[in-house]
Copies of this chain bind each other. A is one copy, B any other.
Amino acid sequence: MTALTAHSLSELDAHWRAANYLAVGQIYLLDNPLLTEPLRPEHIKPRLLGHWGTSPGLNLVHTHLNRVIKERSLEVLCVWGPGHGGPAVLANSWLEGTYSETYPDVPRDADGMARLFRQFSFPGGVPSHVAPQTPGSIHEGGELGYALAHAYGAAFDHPGLLVACVIGDGEAETGPLAASWHANKFLDPVHDGAVLPVLHLNGYKIANPTVLSRIPEAELDALLRGYGHEPLYVSGSDPALVHRSMARAMDQALARVAEIQAEARTAGSGPGREYPRWPMIVLRTPKGWTGPRSVDGDPVEGTWRSHQVPLAAVREDPAHLRQLENWLRSYRPQELFDADGRPVPQVLACVPEGDRRLGAVPYANGGRLLRPLPPTPPEAHAVPVDKPGGTRHEPTRVLGQFLGRIMQDTAACRDFRVVGPDETASNRLDDLYDATGKAWQALTEATDRNLSRDGRVMEILSEHVCQGWLEGYLLTGRHGLFSTYEAFAHIVDSMVGQHIKWLKTSRELSWRAPIASLNYLLTSHVWRQDNNGFSHQDPGFVDHVLNKSPEVVRVYLPPDANTLLAVADHALRSRDRVNVIVAGKQPCFDWLSFEDARAHVERGAGVWEWAGTDDGSRPPDVVLACAGDVPTLEVLAAAALLRQHLPSLAVRVVNVVDIARLMPHEEHPHGMTDAAYDGLLTTDRPVIFAYHGYPWLIHRLAYRRGGHSQLHVRGYKESGTTTTPFDMVVRNDMDRYRLVMDVIDRVPGLADRAGELRRAMADQRARHHDWIRAHGTDLPEVADWSWPA
């Protein structure tokens, strides 16, 4: 344990005071940053924005991390959970110089300080939260709950890294955070880095006390030990005492981390050891610490009133203005900055050098560390296809073989993981286990299978934690895939929205290197919930992500195993995207050879000539379009019926694998030009479109197209239950018979010629309906149907 000398205490305090001063300055000051003259109303920003309450606590943590990084030559990344304390993190980045290196127009001098202050939460400036724009950050602090999962994701497979993670006591009430504590049972002390949670109890949220600050200390201690941690406590409001206590706790924590790692790395990854109880710090300091004690007679420091801007009327009320000036001067800025506004050496004494600075750590700009995935060839796992529909495979099982091979090829560099909420095997990706195990540090029993301390398949029954882990992993320069039941992807709607926002903003920052994409495999999808039924039927995640930034979002609906392989290969090698891949796990016809599949994915949408009766010499009579495995099956079955019963009808079959192709070229980089769209789907022929999800999505994508008034979409319309596969498509009017009826109804003049066929189709639907209810199974003619070669 390092003793904190009086000398280093005063250095730490100087750094902390400087950071506090800079945080207040960002919230309030438009000018006069060094208080070289008395504050006047015109020095104050016209709109006072930002969050003061958490800032002094974040500044304290940053200051003390600086010390231990420097003393111990550590590599540390910090996840700032209360990232609404943007002023604190920006202040520290400016102090250590990383801000000015990243943004040379904000130098570390009086001019730069003025710009730092002015730009904060100002139009055209920087956001009030920690954000992609903030050097050293991988975590937007606006939506609370994900800090700890991000921290673990960052630590996995970075054995030399310590990830500090400040958790606000507000954030600690959220579900995702509450679940993330157990991530310590998935962290391998041999191959992974360490996570040091710092639970910051400052007592209040926006307007309420926090739960964890208002349970007895013994109960809190039990809770944290129940999570598997050894808590260290730092609490108080006297800065000198808190500095000493914090330094002691940091030293203890880091010594314990080193001990755990040394022990585990000597012992290796074998079974038998009990999992380590990692240290953590509980930091209990007043909200808005060192800010105004009270304002207009109401207590402010130590209460929720310090959450945002403690003095609201500074421009109008001279008393408030004086109070602000006294507050700023209480940090003794003249001792902290020289006449040119540069931090004095005492302030910077604790700051580490170069890439060790928290704002410069390369892990926080993961693209800098990213290596391409090994060139594992997907074609080695392709299924042979001589003719369309001659064989069937489970697409996700085929994908699992490819993923298993990638897992094997990354065994040495350990930069690829697959996450999922207890569904990897259910989703038929279990060939992964030939290459690696499932990460697990908790107790084991003889009946367990495929668990291992160093496994790179991650399974916990929390989509939130899975998503947070993967985000943290990708943001620090690695690759991965999230496999989940389609319906339950909605659980992370809000998280993926934030990640897309992060990527969108990052792409606009030249200093942020591109990172690997976040890849979803949505399977166990809406059409095949034979057992689970209505609660598991929801294809709307695609709708949700398609509302977001088109430069980031891609959605693929591969219709068979080889196309899934081609899509996955493309997605895994892409950068800065969110790729959503929807594919079934049930046996599915193989339509395309791998070569054809790859070309099809390249095009994104195309005519399947072999399936239609359209010879290309003239516009077809009707287009049957499809996207998704089940819609493709029904469209091909309908095409076969039409060929049999109406051989003279020119039917074009179009399959769409990259759904954004339907959007206007101007709105999505993958959108087809109007000419390409019109060439494929015509401007004036009826298009019967069978789509995997909610049918109106297709209209929303294609409403500007010339042929839109001829577009008729079938899809899932919330008519779900526990039933057979064919009953599901009948219930939702997407079955082959219904599609044939749609063609008859929509091709001009056909209704007269084909009335008998239409009646036969309606009879078929009724016959199937009755059979299914009587026998509980589909009729063999659909269950065993195959493409008539």
Residue positions of A touching B, CB distance < 8 A: 30, 45-47, 49-50, 84, 121-129, 131, 140, 142-145, 170-171, 173-182, 185, 203, 205-211, 214-216, 219-228, 274, 299, 302-303, 308, 422-426, 438, 440, 442-445, 447-448, 451, 459-462, 464-465, 487-488, 490-491, 493-494, 497-498, 501, 504-505, 530-536, 538, 540, 543-544, 547-549, 694, 696-697, 699-700, 703, 708, 718, 721-724, 727, 772-773, 775-777
Give the CA-CA distance A338 to B8 in the complex, in Å. Answer: 85
Whole-angstrom distance between the Cβ of A552 and the nearest chain B Cβ: 10
| CB < 8 Å neighbour of A175 from B145, B226, B299, B498 | B145
Query: Which residues from chain B contact A207 at a C-beta distance below 8 Å?
Result: 422-426, 459
Measured CA separation A208–B533 after assembly (Å): 23
A776 to B491, CA, bound (A): 38
Known A170-B422, A214-B444, A533-B127: A438·B220 in contact at CB below 8 Å: no
Decide if B493 touches A46 in the complex (CB within 8 Å): no
**Smallest CB–CB gap between A216 and chain B, Å?**
7
Interface of A is mostly: loop
- Most chain B CB within a 10 A radius of its CB, from A171, A548, A699: A699
- Nearest chain B CB to A55 CB, angstrom units: 14
Q: Are A46 and B775 in contact (CB under 8 A)?
A: yes
Instruction: State the CA gap A90–B772 with chains docked (Å).
Output: 23
Given A50-B531, A209-B445, A225-B226, 9 new contacts (CB under 8 A) = A30-B776, A127-B533, A127-B534, A173-B460, A208-B451, A487-B494, A493-B544, A498-B535, A501-B534
Asked if residues A302 and B447 are in contact (CB atoms below 8 Å), the reply is: yes
Residues of B close to A211: CB separation below 8 A: 182, 185, 442, 460
30 intermolecular pairs with C-beta atoms under 8 Å apart: A46-B777, A49-B530, A49-B722, A84-B532, A121-B531, A123-B722, A123-B772, A124-B723, A127-B722, A171-B461, A173-B182, A173-B460, A174-B464, A175-B176, A175-B177, A175-B464, A177-B179, A182-B211, A206-B422, A208-B422, A209-B444, A209-B451, A214-B442, A215-B228, A222-B222, A223-B225, A488-B494, A490-B544, A491-B494, A497-B538
* Bound-state Cα–Cα, A399 to B177, Å: 33
| A175-B173 in contact (CB<8A) | no
- Partner pick for A534 among B438, B505, B699, B724, CB 8 A cutoff: B505
B173 near A214 with CB under 8 A, answer no
A308–B531 touching, CB < 8 Å: yes
Minimal beta-carbon separation of A596 from chain B (angstroms): 33
A129 touches B543 (CB 8 A): no
Q: Which residue of B lies closest to A545 (CB)?
A: B540
Closest B residue to A700 by beta carbon equals B700
Cα distance A299–B544 when bound, in Å?
A: 42
Residues of B within 8 A of A128 (CB): 531-533, 722
- List of B residues within 8 angstroms of A227 by Cβ: 223, 226
Enumerate the 4 nearest inter-chain pairs by beta-carbon distance, A residue then B residue, closest first: A223-B226, A142-B535, A175-B175, A178-B178
Contacts of A142 in B (CB 8 A): 532-536
CB distance from A704 to the nearest CB of B (A): 8
Interface pair B442/A215, CB less than 8 Å apart = yes
Q: Which residues of B contact A724 (CB under 8 A)?
A: 47, 123
> Pick the contact of A540 from B145, B274, B544 — CB < 8 Å?
B544
A214-B443, A422-B208, A442-B215 given; A543·B547 CB < 8 A: yes
| Alpha-carbon separation in the docked complex, A548 to B127 (Å) | 35
B540 touches A718 (CB 8 A): no
| Residue numbers in B under 8 Å from A303 (CB-CB) | 447
For A425, the closest partner residue in chain B by CB is B207
Is the beta-carbon distance between A123 and B776 smaller than 8 angstroms? yes
**Is B143 a contact of A488 with CB atoms below 8 Å?**
yes
Chain B residues with CB below 8 A from A175, complex form: 145, 174-180, 462, 464-465
Contact across chains for A174 and B185 when beta carbons are under 8 A apart: no
Whether B173 and A129, one on each chain, are in contact in the complex, defined by CB atoms closer than 8 angstroms, is no
How far is it, in angstroms, between the C-alpha of A225 and the C-alpha of B451 when the chains are bound? 29
Nearest CB of B to A555, in Å: 15
* Other-chain residue from B127, B145, B179, B536 in contact with A173 (beta carbon distance below 8 A): B179
**A308 contact set on B, CB distance < 8 A:** 531
Task: Give bound CA distance, A222 to B488, whole Å.
Answer: 31
Contacts of A487 in B (CB 8 A): 143, 494
Shortest distance in angstroms between A314's beta carbon and chain B's nearest beta carbon? 14
B548 engages A718 (CB within 8 Å)? yes
- Determine how close the nearest CB of chain B comes to the CB of A554; give it in whole angstroms: 16
| Min CB gap A397→B, angstroms | 15
Q: Cβ of B534 and Cβ of A206 under 8 Å apart? A: no
Residues of B within 8 A of A448 (CB): 209
**Nearest chain B CB to A717's CB is how many angstroms away?**
9
The complex places the Cα of A281 from the Cα of B727 at a distance, in Å, of 42
Inter-subunit contact B423/A47 (CB<8 Å): no
Query: How distant is A559 from chain B, measured CB to nearest CB, in Å?
Result: 23
